């Protein structure tokens, strides 16, 4: 970050190195980048490698190199979640001390069998509160859950509009430290965004259901709530979400990004509802990104998912 520079907006892109960058994650990278840069803000990069069993060796470096070839430039140091367990532990202990979180000894199977949990949540059946007042005799702590609270979470999404979720009915008390050891995604991203000063989160609409849980944690921890913008998902021909394997935009997948990268960026802008001039198709990646930062219209972003402009490269 440049000394003396004041940023009104701090955005971020946070890929998981569980596979190569794909069209959906490229759209998220581009959307978050131009939304920060259009106001002269900063764009941070974070590698979400906390779920180590799912991390594919070499993928983090491949993602970074792919972003560089496509012209993306980030501010400050790259954060890697696998190196930040101490800050997550500190937040966890604070929630436990303040009574906002508690140990849970329930397995997924037990929760699924509970007659009082008929409604499925984002991560499976809604938690029926079996350990909320203490772990029953004969059980041992498996995970840590946070109280969902009784007040609905309301927020405005810059693309999807007003949102309202009653967490007590939409999954109930949720896990912030998993039974198999790692800290949960919800806690890690909230801590990282707050400590990095992130003011704007632009990401795929598949993460929209996670936002109320993250806002709940922000409020419990006394963190500010960033502005949220959830981009439409890239879908396949029949409307299904694209798989990483078949839609990679990566050196590891054999793409010649030196030749076709600017065209992929151009088509990603079209997917986001923008109208780049046709002459930009003959420009460099840096020129496409510069045009986008100067002309991007957030109001033109569609709400509904759709296919990536075809052909993806011509």
Q: Do both 98 and 33 map to the same domain?
A: no
Q: Kindly state whether residue 3 falls inside one of the protein's structural domains.
A: no
Looking at 166, 186, 206, the residue that finishes a domain is 186
Q: Do both 201 and 295 map to the same domain?
A: yes
Confidence of residue 202 (pLDDT cuts 50, 70, 90): very high
Give the separation between CA 242 and CA 297, rounded to whole angstroms: 25
Q: Encoding tokens for residue 15?
A: 């890929």
Q: What CATH code is carried by the domain that includes residue 14? A: 3.40.50.620
pLDDT (0 to 100) of residue 256: 84
pLDDT mean over 167-171? 89
Question: Per-residue pLDDT tens for 296-309?
Answer: 999 999 999 999 99
pLDDT (0 to 100) of residue 314: 40
Q: Do both 176 and 224 map to the same domain?
A: no
Q: 34 with 11: CB under 8 angstroms?
A: no
pLDDT mean over 216-241? 91
The overall average pLDDT reported for the chain is 90
pLDDT mean over 28-49? 97
Looking at 160, 186, 212, the residue that finishes a domain is 186
pLDDT for residue 67 is more than 90? yes
Q: Do both 216 and 97 map to the same domain?
A: no
Q: Do both 252 and 201 map to the same domain?
A: yes
Q: Kindly state whether residue 269 falls inside one of the protein's structural domains.
A: yes
Q: Kindly state whether residue 1 falls inside one of the protein's structural domains.
A: no
Q: Do both 71 and 102 map to the same domain?
A: no
Q: Encoding tokens for residue 150?
A: 């009784």
Active site residues: 244
pLDDT for residue 187 is more than 50? yes
pLDDT (0 to 100) of residue 3: 39
Least confident of 50-54, 144-148, 182-186, 263-267: 50-54
Which residue range is the domain that position 101 belongs to?
A: 85-186
Cα–Cα nearest to 146, from 122, 170, 121, 129? 129
Q: Do both 208 and 294 map to the same domain?
A: yes
Q: What CATH code is carried by the domain that includes residue 138? A: 3.90.800.10
Confidence of residue 255 (pLDDT cuts 50, 70, 90): confident
pLDDT for residue 209 is more than 80? yes
Q: Do both 91 and 69 map to the same domain?
A: no
Q: Kindly state whether residue 314 falls inside one of the protein's structural domains.
A: no
pLDDT for residue 74 is more than 80? yes
Q: Do both 106 and 212 map to the same domain?
A: no
> Residue 298, Cβ neighbours under 10 Å: how many?
16
Q: Do both 200 and 278 map to the same domain?
A: yes
∠ CA 216-47-235, nearest 5°, is 80
Buried-exposed string 251-274: b where 16+ CB fall within 10 A, e elsewhere:
bbbebebeeebbbbbbbbbebbbb
Q: Do both 300 and 195 map to the same domain?
A: yes
Q: Do both 53 and 106 map to the same domain?
A: no
Looking at 186, 214, 249, the residue that finishes a domain is 186
Q: In angstroms, what CA-CA distances link 194 with 31, 92, 96, 250? A: 20, 15, 19, 30
pLDDT for residue 231 is more than 80? yes
Q: In angstroms, what CA-CA distances link 181 with 51, 52, 81, 104? A: 9, 10, 14, 13
The number of distinct structural domains making up the chain is 2
């Amino acid at each position: 970050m440049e000394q003396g520079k004041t940023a009104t907006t701090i955005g971020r892109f946070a890929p998981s190195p569980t596979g190569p960058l794909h069209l959906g994650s490229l759209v998220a990278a581009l959307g978050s980048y131009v939304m920060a840069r259009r106001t002269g803000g900063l764009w941070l990069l974070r590698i979400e490698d906390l779920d180590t069993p799912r991390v594919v060796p070499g993928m983090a470096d491949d993602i970074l190199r792919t972003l560089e070839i496509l012209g993306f430039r980030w501010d400050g140091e790259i954060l890697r979640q696998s190196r930040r367990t101490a800050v997550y532990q500190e937040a966890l202990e604070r929630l436990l001390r303040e009574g906002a979180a508690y140990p849970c000894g329930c397995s997924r199977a037990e929760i699924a069998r509970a007659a009082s949990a008929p409604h499925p949540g984002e991560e499976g059946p809604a938690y029926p509160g079996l350990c909320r007042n203490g772990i029953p005799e004969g059980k041992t702590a498996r995970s840590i859950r946070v109280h969902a609270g009784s007040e609905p979470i309301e927020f405005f999404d810059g693309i999807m509009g007003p949102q309202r979720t009653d967490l007590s009915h939409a999954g109930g008390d949720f896990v912030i430290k998993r039974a198999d050891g790692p800290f949960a995604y919800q806690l890690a991203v909230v801590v990282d965004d707050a400590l990095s000063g992130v003011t704007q989160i632009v990401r795929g609409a598949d993460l929209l259901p996670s936002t109320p849980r993250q806002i709940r944690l922000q409020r419990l921890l006394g963190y500010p709530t960033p502005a949220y913008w959830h981009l439409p998902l890239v879908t396949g021909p029949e409307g299904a979400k694209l798989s990483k394997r078949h839609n990679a935009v990566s050196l590891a997948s054999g793409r010649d990004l030196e030749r076709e990268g600017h065209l992929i960026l151009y088509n990603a802008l079209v997917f986001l509802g923008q109208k780049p001039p046709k002459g930009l198709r003959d420009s460099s990646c840096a020129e496409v990104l510069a045009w986008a930062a100067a002309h991007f219209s957030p109001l033109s972003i569609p709400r509904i998912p759709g296919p990536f402009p075809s052909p993806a490269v011509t």
